[in-house]
Structure 1
Amino acid sequence: MKLPLLASLFLAAQAAIITHPHATVLHEKRDLLPSGWAHARRHDPSAIIPLKFALTQSNMHRLEEFLNEVSHPKSPQYGNHWTAGKIADTFAPSEETISTVHNWLVGSGIPAERIKISPTKGWINVDASVAEANDLLRTEYNVYVHESGKSHVGCNEYHLPAHVAQHVELVLPSVHFDARVEKRGPSTTPVTISNLGQPGFGITPKTTGKVPTEVLKFHNAKQDAAAAADYCWLILTPDCLRTLYGLNYTTQAADKNSFGVVEYTPQAYLQSDIDMFHFNYSREIMGKTPNIISIDGGESTLITHRSVLQTQVQNFAYNGESDLDLEYAMNLVGVQQNITLYQVGDLVQGASFNNFLDAIDGSYCTFDGGDDIYQDPHYPNTQTGGWKGAAECGTVKPTNVISTSYGYNEADLNPTYTARQCAEYAKLGLMGITMLFSSGDSGVGGNNGVCMSEFGFPDAYGPVFNPGFPASCPFVTVVGATQINKNAPVTAPEAAINQVIFSGGGFSNHFAMPDYQKDHVNNYLENFPPSHPDDIWNSTGVARAFPDIAANGANFVAAVNGQFILVYGTSASTPVIGALITLINDARLAAGKKTVGFINPTVSPHFHRTFYDSVVRMRAFARASMWDTGPNEPEESEIYSPDFSDAFNDIVAGNNSGCGSSGFNATSGWDPVTGLGTPRFEKLLEKWLSLP
């Protein structure tokens, strides 16, 4: 399927250049309105809109190179993570970029006093009338209305002068539509839906309901017996996971380490549920609470949630995600290691991924593409019940590992929007932070099983695969899901999950394949080529593929709303991986080493082109200087990352159905269902401790 792979390619295609009478070029265009939106009317020419010009950042073409340098074990810079200040300095727009855009605006009749440059010089802001904006951008601003009643100001396309276009990443508001579907009552009415403000609304855990009393009693009776492990296929507990993945570790450096779980309002945990779970499975943790970091009203949300929503509308939709994440995260890392809960958003606006990114990196608020004023919630929020404080901007310290179990459909977002957010995840990797995201629960379909029609429209019955985001971003680690087969012992090989959900996986339509996964993905495409028609998936062979790894996601027992239930999903498997990486960081910190950071280049053995070129140049110089008479070409062991293949259990059974198809198959080696497989903790620990 010949679809755009990189937002940069998307922009390059735009610059391939549609010439207009005023020497302008088409900069961005949206061919179709997102699902649920309709054109309402032309916008009032006298209305004022806040135009924001995101300036092109410096050195973005080297972002992957920089990240690989600190993430590839064979690089001399491995583990030398960057400071936030170095990141800001490296990627700041050039003075030429700033002056070019500023001079164009002044020359187009915008008074200089109305042109504001952000403190980091990454944004140029202009309050313009709609008439001015239409003329400036050679476009027509309209008002669009969503079926939920929400309105949006934007356009279908816009143009920039050719000499300006290369200096502008994007303009807001424009072709970017709101991906969040907000449903709420009047401002004085408590919110009564579960997806308010959450990024996406499909990657949430699924449940088959309450664990039958006889099953729970039977299982609890087995807790002290070796036979208990033989029933993990029926009801999976933390001890099952410890046995399954060889997790036997005592924390050594908890005071130096950190593990964060992100939750978006109105999801919030109940302490009574956490204690109920720990009473059964880890009594030493009873009474312990996560370290709550409030972002844009999140902590007040927790308080309000407990006293209002969670006493009146206690159900799985409101509490299931948070309870599940925290119960397993806290249990698996042990009583000594604190868990940080990032609670994001208030009860009125909620929040998006960008609100969280704003809080942990102040530079993102202003020049990394930043917030879309029509896509991301903004604070202070003057509505009743809203967060009255300023939006968080660089005020929250990120933890070493951050687990997120939410996501969008990639097709719901514009490529420039996904590109700037994906770049921010790369910068967090440069800082040594491991970003984990769930791969999705609908196989090759999007959230809630929505696929795409052959014309590009969202269609529940469409045949075209619908990858997720941020799962499609090459700079995060994406986690799929597996299961223990029925009646199988915990020591038996797992399979791709096919109970209640299917593990999300596939190939991006926005992002190109990164170097670290080329060997693995090419092996899959050459030896296990999918039989699907080329026009229903990105079959180009050059697209980012996901997931990266997997963990069990079936039959998790969780305490939610005062009862034990069974839970399924990549929402369950992702914090499991987060806990294991946190413990590996603990061991490295105790040994005086750095955290593992972005793990994909390490666990995916691959050719390190930059390091290879460097070695060749150095040896050529040495030979010319008569210092060395050996070969220029480095040995394979010098340029490939260490082999981590025996640190994962290869999953070779199962598939990820969706969109009226069987999806992809789990195969030997990497596959777009379970990635490299499930972890073998003792091997991962051994290998990471052997690295610098």
Structure 2
Amino acid sequence: MQFTVSALLAAAFAAQASLASPISSRTPYVVKETHHVPRGWTKVERSNPNGRIQLQIGLKQSNMQGLIKQLHEVSDPDHQRYGNHLSADEVDQLVKPTKETSHLVGEWLSDNGVTDVDYNSAKDWITVSIPVEFAERLLDTEYHNYQHKDGSIVARTTRWSLPRHLHSHIDTIQPTTSFFRSAPQAATYMSLGAVEPEGYKKPNNTEIAKVCNVTSVSPECFATLYKTKGYKTRAANKNSVAFNNFLAEVPIRPDLKLFLTKYRPEALPSVNFTSHSIDNGPEQDGPLTPEQLADSTSKEANLDVQAISGISWKTPIVSFSTGGSPPFNPDVGTPDNSNEPYLAWVNWLLSQKSIPPIISTSYSDDEQTVPRSYAERVCNQFAVVGARGSTLFFSSGDHGVGGDDTCFSNDGKNTTKFVPGFPPSCPYVTVVGATMNFEPEESAYRAPGLYNGVKKGLYSSGAGFSNYFKRPSYQDKVVPPYVKALGDQYAGLYAKEGRAYPDLAAQGLYFAYFWNGTEGTISGTSASTPLTAGIFALINDALIASGRPALGFLNPWLYKKGYKGLTDITKGSSYGCNSKGLPVTEGWDPITGFGTPNFPKLVELAGAKL
């Protein structure tokens, strides 16, 4: 969407240009939030005062506790309301702000000339587009350009204020203090000819050995390994599976055609995907431009659509491409298009009357780069999606408990800490780790080194305990025993009472795929996540064909009974932070969760028939 400032706002801004900040308010301004600049970011200069910034204002929700209560009821397989997911209107009524909140925030904006505003469907988020200098006055702050070590630049501040009377009515405003970059989790792209993992043993199972090549893992291998082979979809006209694209990523149809021609030729007549552009997200069928080729654009998007279509090709596929996300390189006269991508996407999604039952996302960043207030509000939006009956899969990350030489807290003291990721740390999403090898599978790991003559960094399936979100009740039976068994090992490096992840896992090393007309392999939890989404789309297919609702928010079911349909992984570790990291164990662990899918068992446990 495009937002413009009204003539009234422009006039107000001009009239106030010489006034001291803050501007019009019925009560004095008081600091609302501060946040340290994370490691890897450097302050460059003051932001262009004439550039524009799109502020997202999160109003206090009226009955979020009521929504969470209903979410757990409709997601608990033992509750009488299980599967009775809420409608769009029902969730909007639960979370919409009180009349007092809406009035006071609207008054503050209107009194300062901000009248051209946009509301989401529940009216708990307001979006306004204003000049940077005006935003500085409105929030009693200063914006500077900060450059990341990768070269990307964003306009941010380290503190901002609100009139005292609005502190209890506004939870967060962004972009202000957030520094996350929504990095895709694809760990490594390689040409064909990847090397076998150290200690690899060929499968003993003849059927698996016949179709599974560890250096280029194909859809037939996945179907055999996870036992979806032979399943025939029966509810494709009532089902769908979606995936998210950020950072200018867009799936390329000619590459999908090449992939299916080689690996699933029977799917060619029916496989396609529907695209949705959100906040001016890119739409493109291909081929890639020279600039996109130089930036390696669409490797992640191609992986997502190919991994899904390879396992659940008759189920309709939906692609969401969200624009307005960092990195952003500002210059004079260029709008500061630095939206926070998850919020722009999820608010658009919740404005739709019908949403896909499965959505896969392969992007995340360090939790500590996201202010707690913003992380909590975005996590709440994910809970709303779950209440609507959709399963949100997120990748666990590709650097174990944190990248080597980067494991420090963002509290101004640089304390050594494991580094959890967000959104994986949100308790209302289902997080997928990565495995490798076949008999047995183990957690994915590849040491830093030269591979096919190319230097590659650490790749280790992501693991973590949130510093922001407490352990959800559905984890109470499995996480404390794991923590107790660790004892004092890594004491102080992680939050023992935090939400732990991942919840389950799937293959994530050397996926066969096509990019720019050429076949190669790619690894990461970015691969395991869409693969898992495709498998669970088939479970939903069986449910819908049996006259039952889709799974929706998965975790209460998964931790109560669904785990019995997962194959436990007992080998590996979450390398990172210059350590061997948290160990894989029997039962649930924060590297592979409960394990990898056994499709027939999962279908049976869900209450459907094959």
Q: Sort the TM-score into its range (normalised by shorter chain).
A: 0.7 to 0.9
Does the Cα contact within 8 Å between 2:53 and 2:130 map onto a contact in 1?
A: yes
Q: Does 1:262 align with 2:215?
A: no
Specify the alignment match of 2:543 in structure 1. Answer: 588
Distance 1:414 1:668 in 2: 35
Q: Does 1:29 align with 2:34?
A: yes
Specify the alignment match of 2:9 in structure 1. Answer: none
Distance 1:267 1:27 in 2: 35
Specify the alignment match of 2:256 in structure 1. Answer: 274
Residue 340 (structure 1) aligned to one of 311, 318, 324 = 318
Specify the alignment match of 1:359 in structure 2. Answer: 348
Specify the alignment match of 1:82 in structure 2. Answer: 86
Higher helix share: 1
Of 28-37 and 655-664, more deviation after overlay is shown by 28-37
Residue deviations 1:132-189 (CA, integer Å, cap 9, x gap): 987876x44343443658462645242542x54222212456x424534xxxxxxxxx
Q: Does 1:98 align with 2:102?
A: yes
Q: How does 1:137-176 map to 2 (within 5 A)?
A: 139-146=140-147, 148=151, 150=153, 152=155, 154=157, 156-158=159-161, 160-161=163-164, 163-172=165-174, 175-176=176-177
| Unpaired stretches in structure 2, ≥5 consecutive residues | 1-26, 197-202, 329-336, 448-458
Aligned in 2, Cα 1:59/1:343: closer, same or farther, shift over 3 Å? Answer: same
Q: How does 1:171-320 map to 2 (within 5 A)?
A: 171-172=173-174, 175-180=176-181, 199-201=182-184, 203-211=185-193, 226=207, 228-229=209-210, 231-248=212-229, 249-286=231-268, 288-296=270-278, 301-303=283-285, 306=287, 308-309=289-290, 314=293, 317-320=296-299
Aligned in 2, Cα 1:29/1:298: closer, same or farther, shift over 3 Å? Answer: closer
Q: How does 1:480-499 map to 2 (within 5 A)?
A: 480-484=433-437, 490=438, 492-499=439-446
Q: How many angstroms does 1:472 deviate by?
A: 0.7
Residue 527 (structure 1) aligned to one of 478, 485, 510 = 485
Specify the alignment match of 2:584 in structure 1. Answer: 666
Q: How many angstroms does 1:237 deviate by?
A: 1.6
Specify the alignment match of 1:386 in structure 2. Answer: none
Q: How does 1:5-44 map to 2 (within 5 A)?
A: 26-32=31-37, 35-38=40-43, 40-41=45-46
Does the Cα contact within 8 Å between 1:273 and 1:561 map onto a contact in 2?
A: yes
> In the alignment, residue 161 of structure 2 is paired with which amino acid?
Y
Specify the alignment match of 2:305 in structure 1. Answer: 326
Q: How many angstroms does 1:324 deviate by?
A: 2.2
Residue deviations 1:71-106 (CA, integer Å, cap 9, x gap): 001111111111111111111111232345566x49
| Unpaired stretches in structure 1, ≥5 consecutive residues | 1-21, 181-198, 216-221, 363-393, 485-489, 606-642
> In the alignment, residue 180 of structure 2 is paired with which amino acid?
A
Q: Does 1:557 align with 2:541?
A: no
Distance 1:240 1:530 in 2: 40
Specify the alignment match of 2:361 in structure 1. Answer: 404
Distance 1:89 1:111 in 2: 28
Does the Cα contact within 8 Å between 2:282 and 2:322 map onto a contact in 1?
A: no
Aligned in 2, Cα 1:142/1:278: closer, same or farther, shift over 3 Å? Answer: closer
Aligned in 2, Cα 1:578/1:43: closer, same or farther, shift over 3 Å? Answer: closer
Does the Cα contact within 8 Å between 2:104 and 2:166 map onto a contact in 1?
A: yes
Distance 1:565 1:132 in 2: 49
Does the Cα contact within 8 Å between 1:473 and 1:511 map onto a contact in 2?
A: yes
Q: How many angstroms does 1:404 deviate by?
A: 1.2
Does the Cα contact within 8 Å between 2:73 and 2:82 map onto a contact in 1?
A: yes
Residue 575 (structure 2) aligned to one of 645, 650, 657 = 657
Specify the alignment match of 1:688 in structure 2. Answer: 606
Q: Secondary structure at the match of 1:651?
A: coil
Does the Cα contact within 8 Å between 2:56 and 2:174 map onto a contact in 1?
A: yes
> In the alignment, residue 271 of structure 1 is paired with which amino acid?
R
Does the Cα contact within 8 Å between 2:394 and 2:431 map onto a contact in 1?
A: yes
Of 294-303 and 62-71, more deviation after overlay is shown by 294-303
Aligned in 2, Cα 1:454/1:275: closer, same or farther, shift over 3 Å? Answer: closer
Aligned in 2, Cα 1:298/1:157: closer, same or farther, shift over 3 Å? Answer: closer
Q: Secondary structure at the match of 1:80?
A: coil
Aligned in 2, Cα 1:152/1:133: closer, same or farther, shift over 3 Å? Answer: closer
Q: Does 1:433 align with 2:390?
A: yes
Q: How does 1:41-120 map to 2 (within 5 A)?
A: 41=46, 53-101=57-105, 105=108, 111=111
Does the Cα contact within 8 Å between 1:530 and 1:664 map onto a contact in 2?
A: no
Aligned in 2, Cα 1:298/1:274: closer, same or farther, shift over 3 Å? Answer: farther
Distance 1:341 1:49 in 2: 27
Q: Secondary structure at the match of 1:340?
A: strand
Specify the alignment match of 1:568 in structure 2. Answer: 523
Specify the alignment match of 2:497 in structure 1. Answer: 542
Q: How many angstroms does 1:669 deviate by?
A: 1.4
Distance 1:135 1:325 in 2: 42
Does the Cα contact within 8 Å between 1:463 and 1:660 map onto a contact in 2?
A: no
Residue deviations 1:408-460 (CA, integer Å, cap 9, x gap): 221221112211111111101001001111111111115xx67333564799x
Distance 1:283 1:433 in 2: 30
Q: How many angstroms does 1:277 deviate by?
A: 2.4
Distance 1:134 1:297 in 2: 24
Q: Secondary structure at the match of 2:506?
A: strand
Residue deviations 1:308-355 (CA, integer Å, cap 9, x gap): 24xx75479324222222222112113x32222223338996972233
> In the alignment, residue 344 of structure 1 is paired with which amino acid?
T
Residue deviations 1:346-391 (CA, integer Å, cap 9, x gap): 89969722332233123xxxxxxxxxxxxxxxxxxxxxxxxxxxxx
Distance 2:544 2:324 in 1: 36
Aligned in 2, Cα 1:128/1:273: closer, same or farther, shift over 3 Å? Answer: closer
Specify the alignment match of 2:423 in structure 1. Answer: 470
Q: How many angstroms does 1:39 deviate by?
A: 6.4
Give me the TM-score of the superposition, normalised by structure 1.
Answer: 0.71
Distance 1:39 1:323 in 2: 35
Aligned in 2, Cα 1:405/1:130: closer, same or farther, shift over 3 Å? Answer: closer
Q: Secondary structure at the match of 1:519?
A: coil
Does the Cα contact within 8 Å between 2:408 and 2:419 map onto a contact in 1?
A: no
> In the alignment, residue 681 of structure 1 is paired with which amino acid?
F
Q: Secondary structure at the match of 1:656?
A: coil
Aligned in 2, Cα 1:506/1:530: closer, same or farther, shift over 3 Å? Answer: farther
Specify the alignment match of 1:370 in structure 2. Answer: none
Does the Cα contact within 8 Å between 2:562 and 2:605 map onto a contact in 1?
A: yes
Give me the TM-score of the superposition, normalised by structure 2.
Answer: 0.80
Q: How many angstroms does 1:653 deviate by?
A: 0.8
Of 283-292 and 91-100, more deviation after overlay is shown by 283-292
Does the Cα contact within 8 Å between 1:295 and 1:359 map onto a contact in 2?
A: no
Aligned in 2, Cα 1:43/1:134: closer, same or farther, shift over 3 Å? Answer: same
Q: Does 1:423 align with 2:380?
A: yes
> Aligned pair count?
548
**What percentage of aligned pairs have identical amino acids?**
29
Q: How many angstroms does 1:573 deviate by?
A: 0.7
